[in-house]
Structure formats: C-alpha cells, structure tokens
Amino acid sequence: MGDHRRAAWALAALLLGLCVFDLTAQVPGPRHALVIGNAEYTGMPRLRNPANDARAVGDVLGVLGFAVTPLYNGTRKQMNQAIMAFREALAADRASEGFFYFAGHGVQAKGVNYLVPVGSDIRSEADLDDEAVSLQRVLGNIEEAHNRVNVVVIDACRDNPLPAASRSAARGLAVVASAPPESVVLFSTAQNQTAADGDGANSPFALALVKYLSEPGDISRTVKLVTAEVKRATGSAQTPFQYTSLDFDYNLNRSAVAGAATPLPATVAAPSADPSATKAAVKAPKLGDSFAGGLVFFLDGKGGGLVAAPADQGTGLWSDGNYIQTGATATGVGTGKPNTAAIVSKQDAADNAASICDNLVLGGFDDWFLPSKDELDLMYRNLKKQRHGGFAPEWYWSSSEDDNYFSAWMQRFDDGRQSNDYAKDNYFRVRAVRAF
C-alpha cells in the first residue's frame, strides 16, 4: 500500500511540475522597440517624412506594449549606441520580443545594405563602412541577444544618395544574406527598387504599417495586409518584400490573441470582478501618452478622455456636395461622435472624412469618429504643438458643419488657425479620434 501511495505522490508531483513549467513557458516576455527616423541629411537629399514615420510607428508599438526607444536624425555614433543598448535589453530576458524600425536613406554596394546616418560624409561607396551602419551589423546584434522573436522593418530604399560615379551602388536594397533565427525582416519595397517618401506627412509604407500593426492574427497576415495596401496606394509601383525564419505563429496584438473583445492597453489591468479594484488598477494616462488605441489629447478629470489615432487616415472630402445639410453644427468637446453619426446618415461615400473615421478599425477598436471643431483644436494644442502624432502642416477637417451649410470647420496644423472658408468638396487631411 505504501508503494502505491509513493507512486501516486510521485506521479502527482510530476504532473504538477509539468503544469507549472507549461504555465511559465506561456508567460509573455517584455517587449522592446528601437525606432529610428533620419531625415535631416546634409551632403545628400533631405527627406521629409522619416521622423514622422518613426514617431507614428513608435506610437502604435507603445499601444501594443513595447517599451519604445526613439531616435530621430541619429548620427552614426548615436545609431550604434542605440543598437547596442537594444541588444542588451533583449538579451536581459530570453523571452523578450524585439521590434527594430528604420526610416531614412539606405543604399547597397557590392551586395551589402547600409543604413545612412545623419551627419555622415559619404562621397563614394568606399566611405560606407566608416560612415554608414550596415544592416548586417543590426541583424548581428539582434542575433547575439538570443531572445524569443524579432521583427525588423526597413523603410530605407527611398533613393540612392551616393554620387552617380558610384558604380556598384545599386538602386534600392538587396535581399539580406542572412537573418537572425525566429525573425521577420520586412523591406518597404522589393529588391533593387526604391520606395516613395510620400506627398503627405508619412510614406505610403508607414501609413500601411501603422494601419495594420495592431491587427489580430499571425504577423504573416499583417504583412499581407500591409503589402496589399502599399500596392494599392502606389498603383503597384511599390511592393514590400519579407524574409522570415519563423516556425511558429507570432501575434503583435496580444490582447486579440487572448480573445478580448477589444485590446487592453499595457497600462490597464485585466478586468476584475470588483469594479472598484479594476478602477484602482488603472494607471491614469497623461496627455501625449499611448493609451486606449491612440494618443491622449484630452482628459475630462473623471478618468475619461479622448485619444487620436497615431497617424493620419489620409485625405478626404467633407461631403459629396457643398449644399448637403447634415445638421452636424455642434462644435464643443463631446460632440464629434454625434456629429459623425449625423454626417454618415446623410451621405456615406468611402472618401468622405466622417466615413473614413466611422469605418476605421484600429488597435482593435471600431468606435472612431471625426473630431469636432473644439476637439480638433485640443488635438492641435496638446499633440501637434508638443511634437506628438506626426501631423502634417496642412488643413485637417473637423466634423463641425458651418451654419451656412456651404462649408465646414477645418484647422491648419502649422499655425493652428481655424477656418470655414473652403467648400466641403475639398480634400483635406483626416485624423480619427475615439473616447475612452
């Protein structure tokens, strides 16, 4: 009898140990992201959008739970220091997940890809080893971390910045010779092709990436959605390319994987049976924080507020005809959502600003709307003026119709002026918001 009991206890202990091991293995590790946007080049063409692109991508990654380290207009020394710090952060926990993003000039010479820092003095391809940062150096540092999984995104094929006399410097970048185990390397365009910098505040690739990074499902689905969006936006002139060594499903949106109806930001605890306990577990956001799917630009003092999408939703017109009356004339805070509903009920063309916001699904949320006149002004003051959100220095539509019905209120995001001087059938920029 004693032998049977000892055997039973041994079996129970073994099963308990297996259960504990399995649970431990499934605990998600920390997430680290390094996003670099280089635009202010000297001695080669300056670029308009990389810093905006890096900010927009970093904002989305912050919502997804990554600890984001941004570097804008980094020198070679700053880039190398940031890359080494990134490696060390990943190496500190084998379960960690990494995301590296670079936007700026890139070039290949003799089959080697280089990311070009700001302040580099590159007069010929012979200078690249000393003045630029090779992509293989980035990948090698990541591989040395021996962490669980990494995503590397390169939007650095915008033009060949080297003098025409550089004979072996090819157009665009080359396919990577090798990549770290358990990784995805995504280029904004195919081998030996250049990528568009974009006419607005972001490149077509960055806009697509920001739109779909938080989509639920395996990252392969995200890549397919981004690829289709870029091809559509560029008339198939640009096709992203990926290299992957993953042999398992990897989901950037952990909340969607867990089956939550809507993803919880990293600062929000899991729901509790005790409402007061849940409320106490919520870390109050601050203006400019990544929270609830976007960037906080208004707090009501009662635990609620408004967030803006991390990047523009493109451009749209206010209505199909200048004299369509929607009744959406309210201008105050809290009126953007009913305004949007009123506009959509009257006319719902896909390229109307209100419809663009109403149809948006971003970060797992589908309750986005076009901000009212006063909400738009708060977004300008609390985000744009604080250098958050990557806004373009252009006109943005509000959802507030002018009393004469011929126009609607809009705002410039360079000097902050508001106006109702333009007809509703003009195409201006659109940034969706939502309440939390």
366 pLDDT exceeds 60? yes
Task: Give the tens place of pLDDT for each residue, 238-251.
Answer: 889 888 888 899 99
Tokens 């990948």, residue? 139
Q: For the segment 345-364, what is each residue's pLDDT rounded down to a tens digit?
A: 888 777 899 999 998 877 66
The confidence score (pLDDT) of residue 166 equals: 35
- Rounded to 5°, angle at Cα 222 from 220 and 224: 70
242 closest CA partner among 310, 173, 158: 173
CB neighbours (10 Å) of residue 9?
10
Given a cut of 60, whether residue 392 has pLDDT beyond it is yes
Per residue in 108-121, pLDDT (tens digit) is: 887 788 999 999 98
Report how far apart the first and last C-alpha atoms of the chain are (Å, whole number). 62
Determine what percent of the chain is predicted with pLDDT higher than 70: 79
What is the full DSSP assignment across 361-389?
-BTTB---B---HHHHHHHHHHTGGGT-S
CATH class of 30-255: alpha beta
Longest dimension (CA), the chain: 93
Residue 7: what are its φ and ψ, rounded to 5°? -65, -40
- Tell me the C-alpha distance between 229 and 196, whole Å: 14
The whole-number pLDDT of residue 245 equals: 86
Residue 214's pLDDT band, with cuts at 50, 70 and 90, is confident
Residue 135: half-sphere exposure toward Cβ, Cα within 13 Å: 32
In DSSP notation, 178-233 reads: ---SSEEEEESS-TT------SSSS-HHHHHHHHHTT-SS-HHHHHHHHHHHHHHH
The chain-wide mean pLDDT, for the chain, equals 81
Q: Which residue has the higher pLDDT, 378 or 170?
A: 378
DSSP 415: T
- Whether this prediction's pTM lies above 0.75 is answered by no
Helix (H, G, I), strand (E, B) or coil at 101: strand
What is the residue-wise DSSP string for 250-264? --S-HHHHTT-SSPP
Domain with CATH 3.40.50.1460 in the chain: 30-255
Is the confidence at residue 322, as pLDDT, over 80? no
Beta strands at 290-291 and 427-429: parallel, antiparallel or unpaired: unpaired
25 pLDDT band, cuts 50/70/90, is very low
Higher per-residue pLDDT: 226 or 283: 226
Residues 151-206: pLDDT tens digits? 999 998 645 566 543 323 344 555 554 567 889 999 988 766 666 666 677 889 99
The answer to whether 176 touches 136, Cβ cutoff 8 Å, is yes
> How far apart are alpha carbons 216 and 199 in whole angstroms?
29
Q: Is the pLDDT of residue 9 over 70?
A: no
Q: Do residues 235 and 242 lie in contact, with contact meaning Cβ atoms separated by under 8 Å?
A: no
CA distance 6 to 62: 51
Rounded alpha-carbon distances, angstroms, from residue 152 to 109, 184, 269: 20, 6, 29
53-85 pLDDT, tens digit per residue, is: 998 898 889 888 898 899 999 999 999 999 999
